[in-house]
């Protein structure tokens, strides 16, 4: 289930934003050739880890009980905040340490105007630590705090995080400035190679003064 949602959302996000890029305001009319090999490797990694997680967690059938809705909302709040914190520091470290940027993070920054297709193009080490780490840390935090979680919320988060990643790299402007997944801030990061290190809310960038 987790892998299916991830791949399905990635394909939907890629195709949707590719279409919107032809009919919607974009930052850059001409796009470089997409780098899909790195994305394919990262997707394969996600599928393997997702299958392992499901096997370990043995999730029960998802029931749409009233309490479950509130549980999911609480989960998503925790996941979004935790992801921004984790990704901010991991991402900034990849920029601030020259060797880490040169040998690891430069793989992702091969394009100054990325598209949704290569949103997951990254060095395997970066993908596991920064990308998957930011996606999973909310689950770890909620578990450590003893907060209720349901498998449906984890699956929904997987889809939302994947869609947000595609949108952030799409180059397609949104109608709502600052909306979760908007490309403006992350596209600016790819052009200037600094600032906007977080994801989603960019609260950590606002706190540290790195918001562009």
Question: In order along the chain (212 residues), what is the average pLDDT of each group of 10 residues?
Answer: 68 71 57 59 67 57 63 88 94 95 90 77 86 87 82 84 82 57 75 85 90 86
**CB-based contacts of 126, cutoff 8 Å, min separation 6:** 94, 104, 105, 107, 108
Looking at residue 39, its pLDDT comes to 66
82-to-78, 97, 132, 183 alpha-carbon distances in Å: 6, 23, 12, 20
Looking at residue 110, its pLDDT comes to 81
Looking at residue 204, its pLDDT comes to 92
Q: How much is the pTM?
A: 0.83
């Amino acid at each position: 289930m987790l892998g299916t949602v991830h791949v399905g959302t990635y394909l939907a996000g890629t195709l949707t934003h590719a279409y919107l890029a032809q009919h919607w305001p974009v930052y850059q009319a001409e796009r470089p050739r997409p780098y899909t090999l790195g994305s394919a490797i990262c997707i394969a990694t996600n599928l393997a880890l997702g299958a392992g997680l499901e096997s370990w967690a043995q999730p029960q059938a998802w029931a749409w009980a009233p309490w479950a809705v509130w549980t999911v909302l609480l989960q998503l709040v925790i996941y979004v905040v935790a992801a921004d914190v984790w990704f901010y520091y991991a991402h900034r470290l990849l920029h601030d340490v020259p060797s880490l940027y040169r040998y690891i993070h430069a793989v992702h920054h091969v394009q100054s105007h990325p598209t949704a297709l290569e949103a997951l193009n990254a060095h395997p080490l970066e993908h596991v630590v920064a990308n998957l780490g930011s996606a999973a840390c909310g689950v770890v935090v909620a578990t450590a705090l003893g907060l209720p979680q349901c498998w449906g919320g984890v699956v929904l988060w997987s889809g939302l995080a994947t869609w947000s990643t595609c949108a952030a790299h799409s180059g397609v402007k949104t109608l709502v400035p600052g909306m979760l997944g908007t490309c403006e801030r992350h596209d600016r990061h790819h052009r200037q190679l600094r600032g906007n290190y977080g994801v989603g809310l960019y609260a950590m960038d606002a706190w540290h003064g790195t918001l562009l």
